[in-house]
Amino acid sequence: MNSVPSPCTGVCRIDPGSGFCLGCKRTMDEIADWPMLPAKGKRAILARLAGREVTPIKP
């Protein structure tokens, strides 16, 4: 199977400190490129997400 599901959680807010999405931890470029990436590229992004930290924005 070549289909790689998106890590999107529906919480689409970018952490200004890290530049990562608070929901999926991808960068804006990674989010924008996702639909065009081959499965190998998507899996590479998914592998990087585990090591990313975001600080939730306090209301």
DSSP structure class, residue 24: T
- pTM, entire model: 0.84
- CA 33 distance to own-chain centroid: 10
- What is the pLDDT, as a whole number, of residue 17? 87
- What is the pLDDT, as a whole number, of residue 53? 82
pLDDT tens, position by position, 6-44: 999 999 999 988 899 999 999 999 999 999 999 999 999
Angle formed at CA 49 by CA 52 and CA 14, multiple of 5 degrees: 65
